[in-house]
A = this chain, B = another copy of it.
Amino acid sequence: MSGTTSIEIYDTTLRDGTQAEDIHLSVEDKVRIALKLDELGIDFIEGGWPGSNPKDVQFFSEIQSYALRHSRIAAFGSTHSAKTAADDDPNLQALVNAKAPVVTIFGKTWDVHVRDALRVSLEKNLAMIEDSLAWLRPRVETLFYDAEHFFDGFKANPDYALETLRRAAAGGAERLVLCDTNGGTLPHEVTEIVERVRDALGPEASLGIHAHNDADVAVANTLAAVRAGAVHVQGTMNGFGERCGNANLCSIIPALVLKMGLGCTAGERLERLTATSRFISEIANLPHNKYQPYVGASAFAHKGGIHVSAVQRNPETYEHVPPERVGNVQRILISELAGRSNVLAKARQFGLDIDSQDPAVLEIVAQLKELEARGFQFEGAEASFELLMRQAMGTRRKYFDLMGFRVIDHKVREDEAPQAEATVMVRVGGQVEHTAAVGDGPVNALDNAIRKALDTFYPQLREVSLLDYKVRVLPGRPGTGAKVRVLIESTDGRDKWGTVGVSHDILEASWQALVDGIRYKLLKSEHKDG
């Protein structure tokens, strides 16, 4: 990357990101995300606020047992309390005890906040900033300062706002990170204020930017600050964060690298961006936003007929960057032609020998449309899709016939969990098997019963276990009679495969996905490796 100006990327998904409504991460989730961010090449990963809760303390302890390739872990906290000296402050102690190579502390910039929220004198606040940093300086490797409410504070009282930065620098902060905490600043204001800060503090001040998206311009504010001289960017993956979210690193990193001629380590591994973004949504248990720039499923999806033929001639006509640069793919939506070419492409991927003129192709396209209209979705369920293709081509065995199932869930006391029991009747090679099993809930009972019924015929099913079970209520009829879609991911220790079921009855939908998962394993052990 020699010759290219390099920008530091500081991710705060694990700290500021978890301030978002509906985002809850366990310690294990946080560790998995940190490892993924390290693979992407994020420079700094802010893990949490050790002074605020025991979960964050545990994260800092656990992450020490991993050797990260590139990322450095940062612990976050506030300046010392007005009631204690730096030496006796438990929050500062907790920061040092977290044993992270990087510590970032935030202090107050806005004079009104200092008086009304912190309730100390302006001079006392300056001393708290400088003392806290000076106390930390010899105790940590790398030390950053987040100037909370910097832009609002600067607008209210520029001299005082600048003085907080000078005192932070005097205390030993290596970066002065200008925070738009309320997210209400517009890009032209960011440009002007960052330029004025640089003029006031001189070239030796190393500035960063931390933007929030309340005015829908967090990415633009971040890029404006970088153009005005900031060398350090704070943000979160997928823009997770308080209220409307933080500046979205999934949009900032490709803009820096692909559009602004700047460098960063994550920019060298940009083709991992989409997968990382989706992984983090999965771990946070939120649907990935399909309209998300660069990494969303719709980001390079073309619907209108004119656009489709144009992008097929020349993708630049309606694509601002090549999707593969960020690890995404072009998609052609709902066109008959696209249907056929999609099906043929999938067939090749599955190793199925099908001619483009085979009427089975059109039958598959028609079935696909009908099933998708009913709520099926095969993106996470390619094994179900392969079974459907083989059925249309006449190259699929059923392996067993279901004669029926019965599930009973029985609760006998208000404060006790119910007992779930399932019976299953199947016919395998002319023989009828009728078995029963209990389980942890009715779906688990059904899962146990079908495996028991097939066990003597297909012992290879013992290798199969379930990795994931997801339920989504489909739009349409409201309330408990709504349709649900169940996605199941199975593994036999070598491969993983996804299957799908849809019904008004959640047990029926689960059953469809379970049975597809079993049939796929049997198909696999007949035709393939396992």
Q: Interface residues, chain A, CB within 8 Å of chain B?
A: 19-22, 24, 26, 28-29, 52-53, 112-113, 116-117, 181-184, 186-188, 213-217, 219-221, 223-224, 227, 239, 242-245, 248, 251, 255, 259-260, 283, 285-286, 290-294, 296-304, 307, 310, 313-314, 316-321, 333, 335-337, 372, 377, 379-380, 401-414, 417-418, 420, 439-444, 446-447, 465-475, 478-482, 484, 488, 503-508, 510-511, 514
Chain B residues near A184: list those with CB within 8 A. 259, 320-321
A186-B223 contact, Cβ under 8 Å, with A113-B317, A473-B469:
yes
Most buried by B among A217, A403, A413, A474: A217
| Residues in B neighbouring A317, C-beta threshold 8 A | 113, 116-117, 182
Q: Do B313 and A409 touch across chains, with their CB atoms under 8 A apart?
A: no
A424 to chain B, nearest CB (A): 9
- A479 in contact with B469 (CB, 8 Å): yes
With A227-B188, A320-B214 as contacts: A506 and B506 at CB distance below 8 Å: yes
State whether B410 touches A304 (Cβ < 8 A): no
Please indicate the chain B residues that have their CB under 8 angstroms from the CB of A413 in the complex.
Answer: 403-404
Which residue of chain B has the shortest Cβ distance to A318 in the bound complex? B182
Beta-carbon contact of B472 and A417 below 8 Å: no
Query: 4 new A-B pairs (CB below 8 Å) besides A242-B304, A285-B473, A440-B480?
Result: A24-B372, A440-B505, A442-B506, A444-B480
The 4 closest A-B pairs by CB, nearest first: A184-B320, A466-B479, A220-B220, A216-B251
* Given known A219-B216, A304-B19, contact A506–B293 (CB-CB < 8 A): no
A337–B286 alpha-carbon span in the complex (Å): 19
Q: Which residues on B sit within 8 Å (CB–CB) of A224? A: 187-188
Chain B residue numbers with a CB within 8 Å of A307 are 242
Interchain CA distance A482-B446 in the complex, whole Å: 14
A474 contacts across to B, CB distance below 8 A: 285
Q: Which residues of B contact A52 (CB under 8 A)?
A: 337
A507 to B301, CA, bound (A): 36
CB-based contact B320/A420 at 8 Å: no
- Output the least CB separation between A40 and chain B (Å): 18
Give the contacting residue for A511; candidates B319, B321, B411; CB below 8 A.
B411
Please measure, in the bound complex, the distance between the C-alpha atom of A307 and the C-alpha atom of B227, giving whole angstroms: 31
Contact A336 B24 (CB under 8 A): yes
Name the distance in Å between A5's Cβ and chain B's nearest Cβ. Answer: 16
Chain B residues positioned under 8 Å from A442 (CB to CB): 407, 409, 442, 505-507
- Among A24, A259, A411, A478, the most chain B Cβ lie within 10 Å of the Cβ of A411
Q: Smallest Cβ distance from A510 to chain B, in angstroms?
A: 7
Is the Cβ of B439 less than 8 Å from the Cβ of A481?
yes
Q: Which residues on B sit within 8 Å (CB–CB) of A409?
A: 405-407, 442, 505, 507-508
Taking a contact as CB atoms closer than 8 A, the residue among B216, B217, B469, B481 that contacts A482 in the complex is: B469
Bound-state CA distance A175–B162 (Å) is: 44
The reply to whether B408 and A414 contact each other, CB–CB distance below 8 Å, is no
Complexed CA–CA distance, A134 and B412 (Å): 75
Chain B residues with Cβ below 8 Å from A24 are 335-336, 372, 377
Q: Nearest chain B CB to A130's CB is how many angstroms away?
A: 22
Q: Which of B220, B299, B405 contacts A244 (CB 8 A)?
A: B299
Residues of chain B within 8 A of A314, CB atoms compared: 112, 116-117
Whether the pair A251, B215 counts as a contact (CB closer than 8 A) is yes
Complex Cα–Cα for A418 and B508 (A): 7
Residues in B with CB closer than 8 Å to A290 are 21-22
Residue of B nearest to A424 (CB): B411
Cα A401 to Cα B415 with chains together (Å): 10
Contact, CB under 8 Å: A214 / B507: no
A466 proximity list for chain B (CB < 8 A): 478-480
List chain B residues, Cβ under 8 A from A504: 417, 440-441, 444
Give the CA-CA distance A510 to B299 in the complex, in Å.
36
User: Is there an interface contact between A183 and B439, defined as CB atoms closer than 8 Å?
Assistant: no
B468/A21 in contact, CB under 8 A:
no
Interface contact B318-A505, CB-CB below 8 Å = no
Residues of B contacting A296 with CB < 8 Å?
Answer: 244
B117 touches A21 (CB 8 A): no
Query: Given known contacts A26-B475, A285-B472, is B441 in contact with A214 (CB within 8 Å)?
Result: no
Q: Are A402 and B417 in contact (CB under 8 A)?
A: no
Question: Which listed residue (B26, B465, B481) contacts A444, Cβ 8 A?
Answer: B481
Interface pair B291/A506, CB less than 8 Å apart = no
B414 touches A401 (CB 8 A): yes
Are B473 and A291 in contact, with the CB atoms below 8 A? no
Q: A475 contacts B439, CB within 8 Å?
A: no
